Amino acid sequence: MTIAEIQPQSSGRQTGAKILDPGMDLTLRPMRYPVFYDMYRDAIKNTWTVEEVDFSTDLVDLSSRLLPAERHLIHRLVAFFATGDSIVSNNLVLNLYKHINAPEARMYLSRQLYEEALHVQFYLTLLDTYIPDMKERELAFAAIHNVPAIKAKADFCFKWIDSVQSLERIETKKDRRDFLLNLICFACCIEGLFFFAAFAYVYFLRSKGLLNGLASGTNWVFRDESMHMQFALEVVQTVRSEDPDLFDDELDADVNRMLEEAVDCEMEFANDILGQGVPGMSTGDMRGYLEFVADQRLANLGMPKRFGTKNPFGFMELQDVQELSNFFERRVSAYQVGVTGEVAFDETF
């Protein structure tokens, strides 16, 4: 990118500049997309630290209360966590930040990157706590190479990272469409389905009175991931309003195929993670849950539902999964750090 390409587009802000225009707008006022600045501020209010998570009762559960099948579930789950958020971070830095051309949106992405790093720290602490054996821990960190079901999920992610990896500037309709599919994939399939499936396993164990430390930390990760989805979906909606011709039958078909592939990929993981027979959770119910969540993602995108499956996991209703379309309208209230100060969105200079 040349110096000329990153000059502030001050006049363009008032003459129809779009969020996927090439270049790098540096001018915050007048603010074109104040909703992204609001999201940035809301994310600040949801600040938490890994040190606040108490794993002491989890250690008791791991040593004396978990069944062998449940222990296998946890080892596989933390192995996925070990690299999952790092993959998301790479896509954020390499692809999203480079092409979402609004400084207020990039402020949010900067905050998201911090949160992804926080999640990586949380899962690192989780592995070090849950898997004291060094050899087992090394295998967990290398799971994308030695666990086929986790490798399949990683390959799915890398395929969509690679799809826009060589894209330096968004110049054509095809460029915008490729970028849009990457954004939708990471919001709806990876953060919005792979991670929501992982949360389901955590909250299932919590419903049995197990691993409350893991569940309490997951509550905060859940809020972060929900806000990440909200941001990405807002970008998609902005692109829809600015480039409506991108949203055609071909895009709908591609998104449906993408979600079907994600469900199948996650089911491969479910067959592994539940393969030893976990009482109270079946692979059939997990498929139903994944199809239910996939339908919610299609609805979030303004597309018709594909599966028509009901949520089989009553314990997940406590996490508002059944009402995701309304989840984003509720403010985080259970854990907030106060932030003061106001910004005028219409100020010019």
- H or E segment and range at residue 313: none
Q: Give the model's pLDDT for residue 10.
A: 37
In a domain, 151, yes or no: yes
Each residue of 156-204: pLDDT tens digit? Answer: 999 998 889 889 999 999 999 999 999 999 999 999 999 999 999 999 9
Provide the domain limits for residue 297.
55-327
* Residue 281 binned pLDDT confidence (cut-offs 50, 70, 90): very high
In a domain, 172, yes or no: yes
In a domain, 6, yes or no: no
Residue 342, pLDDT above cutoff 80:
no
Q: Give the model's pLDDT for residue 7.
A: 38
Pick the closest to residue 286 from 210, 203, 216 (CA basis): 203
- State the CATH number of the domain containing residue 258: 1.10.620.20
In a domain, 33, yes or no: no
Q: Give the model's pLDDT for residue 190.
A: 95
pTM of the model: 0.86
In a domain, 335, yes or no: no
Q: Looking at residues 228-254, what average pLDDT do you find?
A: 96
What tokens does 167 get? 């894209």
Counted domains in the chain: 1
End-to-end Cα, the chain, rounded Å = 27
Each residue of 52-103: pLDDT tens digit? Answer: 999 999 999 999 999 999 999 999 999 999 888 899 999 999 899 999 999 9
On average, the pLDDT of the chain sits at: 87
User: Please, are residues 131 and 78 in contact by the beta-carbon 8 Å criterion?
Assistant: yes
Catalytic residue check, 123 = yes
In a domain, 62, yes or no: yes
In a domain, 159, yes or no: yes
Q: Looking at residues 7-29, what average pLDDT do you find?
A: 69
Q: Give the model's pLDDT for residue 165.
A: 86
Secondary structure tally for the chain: helices H, strands E: 14, 0
Pick the closest to residue 305 from 316, 320, 319, 295 (CA basis): 295
Each residue of 294-315: pLDDT tens digit? Answer: 999 999 999 999 999 999 998 8
**DSSP label at 328?**
T
Pick the closest to residue 175 from 95, 102, 262 (CA basis): 95
User: Please, are residues 78 and 130 in contact by the beta-carbon 8 Å criterion?
Assistant: yes
In a domain, 251, yes or no: yes
Residue 25, pLDDT above cutoff 90:
no
Pick the closest to residue 27 from 47, 43, 41, 13 (CA basis): 13
Phi, psi at 67, each rounded to 5°: -75, 160
User: Please, are residues 46 and 226 in contact by the beta-carbon 8 Å criterion?
Assistant: no
- Among 108, 123, 130, 289, the active-site one is 123
Q: Strand, coil or helix: what is 75?
A: helix
Pick the closest to residue 246 from 182, 164, 176, 297 (CA basis): 176
Q: Give the model's pLDDT for residue 319.
A: 59
HSE-CB for 169 with a 13 A CA cutoff: 10
Q: Looking at residues 330-343, what average pLDDT do you find?
A: 40
Task: Give residues with Cβ within 8 angstroms of 238, minimum separation 6.
Answer: 19, 33
